[in-house]
């Protein structure tokens, strides 16, 4: 998966967010996005 993402040209941040989305429940994802991009 990581090799495919690198081949597509995803940046480390996007890959990290994608992994977080897959790993965490959907309810927590928006909170993680807010923390990642300092929206709060």
pLDDT in tens, 1-40: 566 655 565 566 777 777 777 766 666 767 777 777 776 5
pLDDT at 38: 72
Q: 7: buried, middle or exposed (CB in 10 Å: 19+, 13-18, 0-12)? A: exposed
Q: Which domain holds residue 7?
A: 2-36
pLDDT at 3: 67
**Which ranges constitute the DSSP H helices of 1-40?**
2-8, 12-23, 29-36
* In the block, residue with structure tokens 């967010």: 17
pLDDT at 6: 57
Give how many domains the chain has, as a whole number.
1
pLDDT at 40: 54
Is the CB of residue 29 less than 8 Å from the CB of residue 19? no
* In the block, residue with structure tokens 């990642």: 36
pLDDT at 4: 65
């Amino acid at each position: 998966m990581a090799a495919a993402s690198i081949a597509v040209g995803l940046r480390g941040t996007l890959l990290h967010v994608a992994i977080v989305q897959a790993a965490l429940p959907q309810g927590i994802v928006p909170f993680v996005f807010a923390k990642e991009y300092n929206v709060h």
